[in-house]
Amino acid sequence: MAKVTVILTTYNHERFIAQAIDSVLMQETDSPVDLVILEDCSTDRTREIVTAYQRAHPARIRLVLAETNRCDNSEFMNAIAATSSPFVALLDGDDYWTSKVKLQRQVEYLEQHPDCALCFHNVDLLYDDGTRQRQPARPADQKEISALDDLLESCFVTTCSTMLRRPWLGDLPAWYVDDQCADWSLFVLAAQHGHLGYLNEVMSVYRQHQGGFWTGKGHIAQLERVIQFYRLLTDRLPARYATRIRTLLARQCHELALEHQQAGQHDAAMRWLRECLAAEPDVRRITWSLRVAGQGAAGLEFPSDLPDAVRVVIGRAAAASYDIQLNHPHLKVRAGGKYALAFRARADRERALSVGFAEAHEPWEGLGLYTSVALSPEWRYFEEPFIARADDDNGRIHFDAGDSPVSFEVASVILRSLPEGVIMEPSLLSLRTS
């Protein structure tokens, strides 16, 4: 019996599929590897290519050839159900593996970490249009062990890097067949049974191109699918996750409202704003987020007696606190424009707090503001002027915890343009339901 079954899914990948298959066949493992290729009735030469590979390697490759383009997850569900291997690795036909020992490393990791339901590793992002340099997908501070709570925030697991414990998945639920965020949902299903382990090694390439199932979609279509994903999870995860899912759903609705507003589609913007507030009426939970690299390093609180305040409670030693950052995205600035960030802040005891304004997307560059302010237990008012270095429709205010273990609070945060004095409130960016 093979210890690992590789499920390779492909559709219209004639430019890439040979490289994907070769990267599986080159694997050096202690035990056999089965390769199952799911070909979804491509309209190009993909089927011809995979058929030729199967004829050349009949003992190693099994083909599942769809009679019509299903564009669903039925064949994948059948492949999962049919495998008797203890481990399953995933690969899409437009990606490929770069390490000959990728599968062996992941099998060893899962055998050494019996509490992990899956493991994944870093991958290189390869931009097919040449607009960006090849670069690692995961940051240097990616946690080694993550949990379902982390995965709900975002899908940081790349499909071509994944190996799962097959027995822990059980039978995939019937609703999975039409799921448009199938990989993310699969990881969530696995994470209900164990942790997610991370290998900090680049062993795959994740190709970014317009024909990709996800990267080929526009941002609005991506947001709509993520909203559908959260709605799907609402009744399918234990009740203790309900509040968290509502907040995450509201954030996506809020971002979609902003996308429609920027496109001049005001009726659609209002509709999604109403959806946002219906899911989470407290706008602080929607617009503020906490980036934490270490488990339990910090938490976010929203004081009931101060409706415009956000409190960051640091719960670990100072050594871990440099990875704690309070963020507020979705703020528009223009290159050369003069702005001022105003806020009130206090801390449990004296400490310094770094304050910045940066892009809320890759390459995460600063937009003209990065300074440090001194906090005390008394509320203090700060106003920090800056000149924006570039255009950005999704700028991010961020408060960095630095190397201090002292909890802090910020309130009344406003971004102003100068000298006109136009107020841009972080709450909902001047979107209104009336």
Same domain, 25 and 85: yes
Does residue 161 contact residue 81 with C-beta atoms inside 8 Å? Answer: no
Q: Which of 260, 281, 302 is the last residue of a domain?
A: 281
| Cβ atoms < 10 Å from Cβ of 368 | 20
354 lies in the same domain as 417: yes
Report the Cα 125 to chain-centroid distance in Å. 14
Q: Is 60 a residue whose pLDDT tops 90?
A: yes
* Burial of 66: CB neighbours in 10 Å, binned 0-12, 13-18, 19+: middle
Residues 39 and 144 in one domain: yes
Same domain, 297 and 153: no
**Whether 143 and 52 share a structural domain:** yes
* Gyration radius (Cα) of the chain, Å: 24
Residues 88 and 178 in one domain: yes
End residue of a domain, out of 208, 237, 270? 208
| Residue 131 located in a structural domain | yes
Neighbour tally for 243: CB within 10 Å: 11
Listed residue (294, 289, 315) closest to 142, CA to CA: 294
- pLDDT for position 362: 61
pLDDT over threshold 90, residue 210 = no
Give the whole-angstrom CA distance, residue 24 versus residue 35.
8
416 token code pair: 């102003």
Model confidence at 116, in pLDDT bands (50, 70, 90)? very high
pLDDT in tens, 283-330: 888 889 888 766 567 888 999 999 999 999 987 554 544 568 888 887
Distance CA 170, CA 190 (A): 9
* Region 194-223 average pLDDT: 82
CB of 147 closer than 8 Å to CB of 189? no
**Structural domain includes residue 346:** yes
pLDDT at residue 429 tops 70: no
324-361 confidence digits (pLDDT tens)? 888 888 788 889 999 999 999 999 999 999 999 988 76
For 233-264, what is each residue's pLDDT tens digit?
888 888 899 988 999 999 899 889 988 888 88
- The residue that leads in pLDDT, 87 or 431, is 87
Domain containing residue 156: CATH number: 3.90.550.10
**What is the model's pLDDT at position 393?**
79
Domain that holds residue 37: 4-208
- Is 430 a residue whose pLDDT tops 50? no
For residue 252, give both structure tokens: 């996506």
Residues 172 and 245 in one domain: no
Match 């670990």 to its residue by tokens: 316
**pLDDT tens digits, one per residue of 176-204:** 998 888 999 999 999 999 999 999 999 99
Report whether pLDDT(55) > 80: yes
Report, as an integer, the average pLDDT of 394-419. Answer: 88
Identify whether 97 is part of a domain: yes
What's the chain's average pLDDT?
88
Same domain, 76 and 193: yes
Q: How high is the pLDDT of residue 102?
A: 98
Cβ atoms of 343 and 411 within 8 Å: the answer is: yes
Is 417 within a domain? yes
Model confidence pLDDT, tens digit, residues 61-94: 999 998 888 888 999 999 999 999 999 999 999 9
* DSSP string computed for 52-78: HHHHH-TTTEEEEE-SS---SSHHHHH
Say if residue 237 is in the same domain as residue 330: no
Kindly tell me if the per-residue pLDDT of 230 is higher than 90.
yes
Which residue, of 162, 181, 208, is where some domain finishes? 208
Compute the C-alpha angle 177/181/187, nearest 5°. Answer: 90
- With a cut of 60, say whether residue 395 has pLDDT above it: yes
pLDDT at residue 214 in the model:
53
Q: What is the mean pLDDT of residues 12-28?
A: 96
The Cα–Cα gap between 88 and 90 comes to 7
In a domain, 129, yes or no: yes
Q: Which H/E stretch holds residue 385?
A: strand 380-387
Residue 433 pLDDT: 44
pLDDT at 107 over 60: yes
Which CATH number belongs to the domain containing residue 308 in this structure? Answer: 2.60.120.260
Residue 209 pLDDT > 90: no
> Residues with Cβ < 8 Å from 313, sequence gap 6 or more?
298, 299, 300, 301, 407
User: At 250, which helix (H) or strand (E)?
Assistant: helix 242-262
Would residue 434 count as lying in a domain?
no
Q: In this structure, which long-range contacts are made by residues 48-53, counting pairs with CB atoms below 8 Å and at least 24 apart in sequence?
A: 49/14, 49/17, 49/18, 50/10, 50/17, 50/21, 53/18, 53/21
Number of domains in the chain: 3
Q: 76 and 164 share a domain?
A: yes
What's the pLDDT band for 427 if we cut at 50, 70, 90?
Answer: very low
Are residues 124 and 180 both part of a single domain?
A: yes
Amino acid at 266: H
- Is residue 194 in a domain? yes
Assess whether 79 and 227 both reside in one domain: no
393: burial class by Cβ within 10 Å (0-12, 13-18, 19+)?
middle
pLDDT, residue 333, reads: 87
How far is the C-alpha of 277 from the C-alpha of 265, rounded, in Å? Answer: 19
Instruction: Identify the pLDDT of residue 399.
Output: 93
The answer to whether position 71 is within a domain reads yes
